[in-house]
Homo-oligomer: A and B are copies of this chain.
Amino acid sequence: MKLSIVLSTHAAKFQAVAYKGDFEQNVAKIASYGFDGVEPAVRDPGIVDHDGLIAAVAEHGLEIPAIGTGQAWGEEHLSFTDPDPQVRQRAIDRIASHVPLAKSAGALVIIGLVRGIIQEGVSESQAREWMYSGFKSCVEIAGREGVRIAFEPLNRYETQLLNTARESLELIDRVGADNLGLLLDTFHMNIEEPSIEQSIKLCGDRIFHFHVADSNRWYPGAGHLDFRRILETLFSTGYAGFVSGEFMAVPDADTAARKGIAHLRDLGIE
């Protein structure tokens, strides 16, 4: 089982990012804990040294399975569903700007909160159409470079759009592109999916990436999720990607990372 962990390339508000602060020092620590990869959370690839980032990770023998983009929403409020067409275009442009970095890193691009919420004064059907257009544009741009996009169903409190695996699969069908798939996250699934295991089976080979946090968004082992059952189900679908930790830095980032990986390695899943 290949394990990675989310690492922000700079300070962020988003509390479920396990590591913040000095990037290179944190990569070294992550490698020393036994992780196989790092999942950078990048607000704006335009202000990141692509080669430097990739080299800093490779130096420690780690891979970059995926690049997170949610800070563009959290800090700049860019989204596919903003009533302002210029903001919608900037959100698409921002995702497009991740594609060269992702291509160089051999990573996929995650779409989480950048898809947006239903903002005040916007009808649900209008929001869904704008969201669809955003996905369609980004998937086409990424597809030309052979880069995959994984979008993450999020629980109802974070957005009204795409909470469950079932409605996410409908969007994927409608976009109709091979390079669009899902990032499933156990914290959100615990709230939204009638059965976590059944939903994993339902998504099957459309699962491009996988996030783990326990039921309380702490590190795996701190809540009541059955990670053995969940991960055995995941790998039974043929999934060969990373299992990536995105959880709160409690009691602190280092303890969370160490306890999380210990719990997952103790499962003995190959």
Which residues of A pack against B, CB within 8 Å? 155, 157, 190-196, 215-216, 218, 222-224
CB distance from A173 to the nearest CB of B (A): 23
- Return chain B residues, CB-CB under 8 Å to A191: 190-191, 215-216
Contact A216 B196 (CB under 8 A): no
Cβ contacts under 8 Å, A223 to chain B: 194-195
Q: In the bound complex, how far is the Cα of B216 from the Cα of A76, in angstroms? A: 30
Nearest to A223 among chain B residues (CB) is B194
User: Shortest distance in angstroms between A158's beta carbon and chain B's nearest beta carbon?
Assistant: 8
Contacts A/B (CB < 8 Å), 19 sampled: A157-B157, A190-B190, A190-B191, A190-B215, A190-B224, A191-B191, A191-B215, A191-B216, A192-B216, A193-B216, A193-B224, A194-B215, A194-B216, A194-B218, A194-B222, A194-B223, A194-B224, A195-B223, A196-B224
Q: How far, in whole Å, are A190 and B216 apart by their CA atoms in the complex?
A: 8
Bound-state Cα–Cα, A190 to B191, Å: 8
Please, how many angstroms separate the alpha-carbon atoms of A216 and B157 in the complex? 12
Distance to closest chain B CB from A72 (angstroms): 22
Q: How far is the CA of A193 from the CA of B216 in the complex (A)?
A: 7
Q: How far is the CA of A191 from the CA of B218 in the complex (A)?
A: 11
**Distance to closest chain B CB from A213 (angstroms):** 11
Q: Shortest distance in angstroms between A241's beta carbon and chain B's nearest beta carbon?
A: 24
- Measured between alpha carbons, how far is A79 from B220 in the docked complex, in Å? 35
Instruction: With CB as the reference atom, state the residue of chain B lying closest to A198.
Output: B224
Residues of B within 8 A of A155 (CB): 157
Chain B residues with CB below 8 A from A157, complex form? 155, 157
**Given the complex of chains A and B, what is the CA–CA distance between A108 and B222 in angstroms?**
34
Known: A155-B157, A191-B216, A194-B222. 9 other contacts (CB 8 A): A190-B224, A191-B191, A191-B215, A192-B216, A193-B224, A194-B215, A194-B216, A194-B218, A196-B224
A155–B157 Cα distance when bound, in Å, is: 10
CA distance A143 to B223 in the complex (A): 36
Give the docked Cα–Cα distance between A218 and B195 (Å).
13
Which residues from chain B contact A216 at a C-beta distance below 8 Å?
191-194
- C-alpha gap A205/B192 in the complex (Å): 31
Looking at A192, A194, A196, A222, the one whose CB has the most chain B CB atoms below 10 A away is: A194
Report A227 CB to chain B, min CB distance, Å.
Answer: 14
| Bound Cα distance from A204 to B97, whole angstroms | 55
Residues of B within 8 A of A224 (CB): 190, 193-196
Q: Give the CA-CA distance A223 to B196 in the complex, in Å.
A: 9
